[in-house]
Amino acid sequence: MKFFVDTADTAEIKSLASSGLLDGVTTNPSLIAKSGKKFVNVIAEICEIVPGPVSAEVAATDFDGMMAEARVLRRIAKNVTIKVPLTVDGLRACKTLSDDGTAVNVTLCFSPAQALLAAKAGASFVSPFVGRLDDIGQDGMGLIAEIMEIYQNYSFRTEVLVASVRHTMHVIQAAKLGAHVATLPPDVLRALFNHPLTDKGLAAFLADWAKTGQSIV
């Protein structure tokens, strides 16, 4: 499974990228707004930090507007992935861009039918929002299972990018289902490292080592 981080905070991205575990970055208008920086500049800076896909979302809702914005975003860096909403115009833009060799992330997916359409439109990634479905009493991970089954039936090349991840179990469940990518808030990505028995075991090892009075260097 690939790990993307869902943030526009370049300091966080640099820190996580240094671990060697970061495969890409997703952003959205809300995350860009929190950064307080100019959109194009933020995306350019992220693309310099991370060589993998960096999702930059269009703000337009009509086809012509999306295509105009996509032309600007594509010029920022080779690893920019154009992010479009799962609407009629968004899928039309996806098809046009993907036919031209541009990577596209179709976002705001909430049903297997929508995911099927995204794959047929040639999306590089489709982003089902598991946490938001859980919030309204639906089964977010059940959606991932349905999408994976459909995609495997037809050998679609579209990668399932699990979004709106709220906790580490979302990551584990998605990995067990074979999802290709999970995009995680920085705190959830860091939480994957943690286990109380790891901390307890390390403390015991260090205490025993101190008793030896030795030094490796």
CA 206 to chain centre: 37
Q: Is 83 a catalytic residue?
A: yes
Q: Are 23 and 54 in contact (CB under 8 A)?
A: no
Catalytic residue from among 34, 83, 95, 200: 83
DSSP 102-168: --EEEEEE-SHHHHHHHHHTT-SEEEEBHHHHHHTTS-HHHHHHHHHHHHHHHT---EEEEBS--SH
CA distances for 76 relative to 61, 79, 178, angstroms = 21, 9, 32
Amino acid code (one letter) for 107? T
Nearest-10 crossing angle of helices 168-176, 140-154: 30
Residue partners of 155: CB distance under 8 A and separation at least 6:
none
Given the structure tokens 């959606």, which residue do they identify?
A: 143
**Partners of 160 in the beta sheet?**
126
Residues forming the active site: 83
